[in-house]
Amino acid sequence: MSDDSAATATTLTDSDSDSQEQSLPRDSLNSLLEASVKGGGEDCLSQCAGAVCENPQERRKAVCCSSVAQCVWGILLLTISVGGCIFTPLDFMLWEKLNMRPGFPPYDWWADPPDEVRLRVYVFNVTNHDRFVQGLDAKLDVQELGPVVYLEKLLHSNVRFNENSTLTYIAKRYPIYLPEENHLDLNATIIVPNLALLGIASYLHNAPYLVRAGFRFIASSHGSEFFIKKTIYEYLWDYKEPILDTSRSLVPGMVPVTNMGMLNRVYSDFTDELTVTIGQRWGHERFFQIDRFNGEPQLPGYDPNACPDRIFGSTEGVMYHQHMSKRDVLLYWRKTVCKLMPLYFDSELTLDSVHVYRYNLSESVFERVTNGTDCYDTEPSLPAGISDGSKCYFGFPMVISYPHFYTGGVPKDHFVTGLQPDRYKHNSYTIVEPLTGTPFRSVARMQSNLRIQDLSGFSKEYAKFSNLILPLFWAEYNQEGLPHQIQSTIHFMTVILPPLSTVILAITLLLSCYILFRQIYIHKFKNDSLNSVLQLQCNQNRALAGTKWFANEKEAFLNMPS
C-alpha cells in the first residue's frame, strides 16, 4: 500500500473515530453509573459518594449513611419490633418486679407501705344483764356501738435477701387513734361479760371438783360478777380484773396475761418474721407468697401432724402474685383470725379507669370440714359458721366468725338477740389489679366471740351461761384506695403502656421495613444499571464489528508490514 493511501486511511480512521465517539455514549463505566444514579434522583448514598466522604469532619455522617450501616439499623429495628411483640415492655417490667430490687418502685412501696388501712372496731353492749341473771330473760340482748377508728400502721424492717430466692423481713402492725374520724366517746361506759370469770370457768369446765370449787372460792372472795361495767377504752385496751392476778399467781400457765383488753391482746404480739418467695425462680404465680411464718411452714399453734393446713402459698394481703386469673384462689393469712382464709373470683370491675378483679371471701370458710381433718373445730364440736381461734390466744376459749353470725348454721337469735346480720355490711373481699397483683381495695371483717363450755358442774348461776357463744367485738380492716403515685403508675402500666407500646412497635416495624426495602431497591437498581451499561457496550461492539469500516481497518491491519 502507498504512503498516500495510508495517510488517507489514517485520516479516515481518525474522522470515523471522532464521529463514532460523538454518536456513542461515553466509554466509562463509572461515568455511566454516576449518570444512572443521578438519573434516579439525589439521595444520601450519592452525597456520601461525593465530597462528603472526602471531608474528614463528615466521615461519621458518611458512615451512618452507608448501605451497610443502614442495613444494620434496619435489622436492629426489626429485631426490636419483633422482640417487643413477643416480650412486651409490660412483661419486662413485671419480670423485673419479681426481683424486688431496692431502689426500684415496687420494693420502695412495699418497704414503706402507704398509710391507707383503717381499722374500725365495733363493741357489743349488753342491755338486759340484770333480767338475764334473774332468770327473767332467756337470752342476752346486745347492742352494737361504734365504730372506733384507727389507722393501722405497718412497718417492714430487718430485710434480708436469701440465696434460695426468698425475702425475710420483720412485719410490725400497730394502731394509731384518729380523733378527727371518731364520734364515739371512749369514756362512755358499757356492760360486758366478765371475760376473766367466764373464760377461766370455761377453761376449767372438765377439771376436778376441787379445782372448780377452789376457783369459785377465789371468784367470790374478789366479789367477781358475771357482768361488769367498763369504759370503751378499758374494754379495748385496759381490761384488768383482780381475779386474773390471783389466778396467774396460782397457775401461771393457765393465765399467761393479766390485761384482757380486746385490742391490747391483738396488738401486744403483732411483730412477726415472714419469709416470702421472690425472683424469677418462682415465677409470677408464686410471687410474694409466704414460705415461712416465724421460721415455720405450718400455722402457728397447730400440730403439723394433726393439721394438714400449711401457711405456704398464702399472703398477708399487702401484695398478691402477678398475672392473676379467675380460677385462682387467694389464701389470706391474718394472725388474729388464726386461720387461712380463701378468696374466690366474683366479678370484673373498672376502678379508677383500671380493669380489676373482685375476689370474695368464701361464705363457707367457717363451715365444718366433713371429708378431711378439721383443724378449726373443738370438742364438743362448734356449730357451722364458727372457727376455733384459741391456739392464737394462749388457749383462751376465743372463736371467730363473720360479724353478727351472718353466715353458717347459727340462726339469727340462737345465742343472743339484737344482732342484725347483713351481707353487704359484714362480708369480706379484695379488689385486685390482676396483672400486677396490686390490691386497690380490701375489706376484711371478723368477729371475736367467747365460747363458754358446759358450766353445770360449777353452780346454778354459772349454768345459765352453759354452751353460749357471746359476741365480744368485731373489727373491719379497710384498705381505702392507694396513694396517687402508685395508682398513677399502675394506670400507666396497665392502661396506657400496652397501646402505646403497640403504636411504637408498629412504627419501629414500618421504619425497619422501609430501610431494608429501600436498600434492597437501591442495590437492585445499581445492578440493573451496571447490566444495562455492559449490555449497551456489548451491543455497540457488535455493531462496530459489523460495519464496512471495521472490515477495511481489519484488512489494513493485516496488510501492514511487520
What pLDDT was estimated at residue 22? 44
For residue range 319-360, what is the model confidence (pLDDT) as tens digits? 999 999 999 999 999 888 888 899 999 999 999 889 999 999
Rg (alpha carbons) of the chain, rounded to whole number: 44
Confidence of residue 203 (pLDDT cuts 50, 70, 90): confident
Contact indicator for 301, 338 with CB cutoff of 8 Å: yes
What pLDDT was estimated at residue 545? 60
- Mean pLDDT is lowest, of 118-127, 285-294, 501-510, for 501-510
Segments in 137-259 forming alpha helices (H): 195-203, 209-221, 232-237, 242-250
pLDDT over 70 at 59, yes or no = no
pLDDT over 90 at 4, yes or no = no
What pLDDT was estimated at residue 527? 65
**What rounded mean pLDDT belongs to the chain?**
83
Q: What is the mean pLDDT of residues 70-79?
A: 73
pLDDT above 90: percentage of residues in the chain: 44
Burial code of 476-512, b = ≥16 C-beta within 10 A, e = fewer?
Answer: bbbbeebeeebbebbeebbeebeeebeeebeebbeeb
Confidence of residue 505 (pLDDT cuts 50, 70, 90): confident
Contact indicator for 376, 392 with CB cutoff of 8 Å: no
Q: Which residue has the cell 371438783?
A: 209
Q: What is the DSSP letter of 222?
A: T
pLDDT over 70 at 171, yes or no = yes
**How does strand 271-277 pair with strand 290-293?**
antiparallel
Grid cell listed for 544: 462496530
Q: What is the DSSP letter of 139?
A: S
Confidence of residue 6 (pLDDT cuts 50, 70, 90): very low
**C-alpha closest to that of 321 among 276, 367, 284:** 284
**C-alpha closest to that of 184 among 233, 234, 148, 143:** 148
How far apart CA 344 and CA 363 sit, in angstroms, is 10
Grid cell listed for 361: 371471701
Contact indicator for 241, 224 with CB cutoff of 8 Å: yes
Q: What is the mean pLDDT of residues 89-97?
A: 89
pLDDT over 60 at 15, yes or no = no
Burial class (CB in 10 A: 0-12, 13-18, 19+), 220: exposed
Q: What is the residue type of 461?
A: E
Confidence of residue 44 (pLDDT cuts 50, 70, 90): very low
Q: Cα torsion for 487, 488, 490, 493, to the nearest 10°?
A: 180
Beta bridge partners of 347: 358
Q: What is the mean pLDDT of residues 38-49?
A: 44
For residue range 358-402, what is the model confidence (pLDDT) as tens digits? 999 998 888 888 777 788 888 888 998 899 988 887 778 889 999
How far apart CA 343 and CA 330 sit, in angstroms, is 5
Q: What is the DSSP letter of 183?
A: -
What pLDDT was estimated at residue 531? 65
12, 231, 260, 438, 463 from 236: Cα distances, Å: 127, 9, 8, 32, 27
Confidence of residue 119 (pLDDT cuts 50, 70, 90): very high
Q: 255 in helix, strand or coil?
A: coil
Confidence of residue 234 (pLDDT cuts 50, 70, 90): very high
CA 118 to chain centre: 21
Segments in 397-469 forming alpha helices (H): 423-426, 460-463
How far apart CA 504 and CA 84 sit, in angstroms, is 10
Contact indicator for 383, 371 with CB cutoff of 8 Å: no
pLDDT above 70: percentage of residues in the chain: 79
18, 121, 430, 443, 532 from 478: Cα distances, Å: 101, 11, 10, 5, 81
| 3-state helix/strand/coil string of 259-280 | CCCHHHHHHCCCEEEEEEECCC
103, 406, 486 from 507: Cα distances, Å: 32, 57, 30
Q: What is the DSSP letter of 515?
A: H
Q: What is the mean pLDDT of residues 91-117?
A: 89
- Mean pLDDT is lowest, of 40-54, 167-181, 499-513, 524-538, for 40-54
What pLDDT was estimated at residue 511? 78
The secondary structure of 288-335 as a DSSP string is: T-EEEETTBSBPTTS-TTT---BSTT-B-SS---SS--TT--EEEEET
333, 337, 355, 421 from 444: Cα distances, Å: 11, 10, 22, 16
Angle between helices 89-97 and 497-545 (to 10 degrees): 130
- Mean pLDDT is lowest, of 38-47, 208-217, 258-267, 430-439, for 38-47
pLDDT over 80 at 560, yes or no = no
250 or 327: whose pLDDT is higher? 327
Grid cell listed for 326: 379467675
Q: Is the peptide bond before 102 cis (omega within 30 degrees of 0)?
A: no
What pLDDT was estimated at residue 62? 55
Contact indicator for 333, 311 with CB cutoff of 8 Å: yes
Confidence of residue 514 (pLDDT cuts 50, 70, 90): confident
**How does strand 166-177 pair with strand 140-161?**
antiparallel
What pLDDT was estimated at residue 415? 93
Q: 11 in helix, strand or coil?
A: helix
How many CA atoms, within 13 angstroms, populate the side-chain half-sphere of residue 538? 6
pLDDT over 70 at 14, yes or no = no
- Mean pLDDT is lowest, of 450-454, 511-515, 542-546, for 542-546
What pLDDT was estimated at residue 43? 47
Grid cell listed for 289: 407468697
